[in-house]
Structure 1
């Protein structure tokens, strides 16, 4: 039982395997020895220092953002933020995921530009993204509601109310459907 609960905890860190030539390995061990740190801590600090000095630039070479702009504890939020910014060179898979999120924006954000992300929905939907994307690829030409229904089921089973993803009618839609207009109390 105790072993089972340990397996369910999220990982606090991940393992990374790198190849170093003997000279680089010695240099790394030397720095760790001088600083009284582990090799891992030396690498972590070096990466953070490099990341802190790395910024995206706009077309006029003005500094815009660094890694902290995109960082979030939630994988889905990080992925969406990175994919939204072309300066981070998103891969095809990231662009496909972003296109999916834009088409189904109401499940992921409060607006179509994805500027205000819906954390609670992303926390529920993100683990299922590979399955959702696969279903979307298979059904978007024949049944565009299949993936929408699956997302609704996932959110409802997590206890999230339809208000967390229902789209509000636009002014144009309200004008074409007078029964949707708010009642005027006079």
Structure 2
């Protein structure tokens, strides 16, 4: 994921650098001229088209079914990184990288992130044998959670996160 430069805060767009075959680059430039679109617009349109043609294993109602990525992305997308992560982890568990699996397993094993009587903002879905998650606590401790997982990356077991007192 692209990172913002310090001092920029949240941005509405991200920068992506690509290495393209010169022939493909020329093709994109010609399409942009023909359609009177920017190169960015051509690339975005092509990716959206592929997204609607690409099936993704999507977890819902206790089962994994294939759905077109373009039609279900809104179930996962959020401008908040922690929210986006837990939605992706729940809905697309088979697509997680090893590092993402470690974060997800740490969340699920940490009592502070599980719904409790004081939870004001929980997930609208539950994890079998665990329950709902406390979205507000995950947001509050997101950066510290990522540091915790990184610090314990060499551990052979998941170390639950405990918030500082």
Deviations 1:85-111 (A, max 9, x none): 466421111111111000115425548
Instruction: Kindly report structure 1 stretches of 4+ aligned residues shifted beyond 6 Å.
Output: none
Higher helix fraction: Structure 1 or Structure 2? 1
* Structure 2 CA distance for partners of 1:28 and 1:124, relative to 1, 3 Å: same
TM-score by length of 1: 0.60
CA contact (8 A) 2:83 2:135 kept: yes
CA contact (8 A) 2:51 2:68 kept: no
Query: Would you say how many aligned residue pairs link Structure 1 and Structure 2?
Result: 142
> Alpha-carbon deviation of 1:35?
1.3
* Structure 2 CA distance for partners of 1:78 and 1:29, relative to 1, 3 Å: same
Match of residue 119 from structure 2? none
* Structure 2 CA distance for partners of 1:100 and 1:70, relative to 1, 3 Å: same
Which consecutive residues of structure 1, in runs of 5 or more, have no partner in the other structure? Answer: 1-5, 154-186
* Structure 2 CA distance for partners of 1:108 and 1:12, relative to 1, 3 Å: farther
Match of residue 43 from structure 2? 43
Q: Could you say which structure has the greater relative contact order, defined with CA pairs below 8 angstroms and 6 or more residues apart?
A: 2
Match of residue 176 from structure 1? none
CA contact (8 A) 2:76 2:84 kept: yes
User: Are residue 132 (structure 1) and residue 148 (structure 2) matched?
Assistant: yes
CA contact (8 A) 1:56 1:87 kept: no
User: Are residue 149 (structure 1) and residue 155 (structure 2) matched?
Assistant: no
Which consecutive residues of structure 2, in runs of 5 or more, have no partner in the other structure? Answer: 1-5, 116-121
Higher strand fraction: Structure 1 or Structure 2? 2
User: Are residue 91 (structure 1) and residue 97 (structure 2) matched?
Assistant: yes
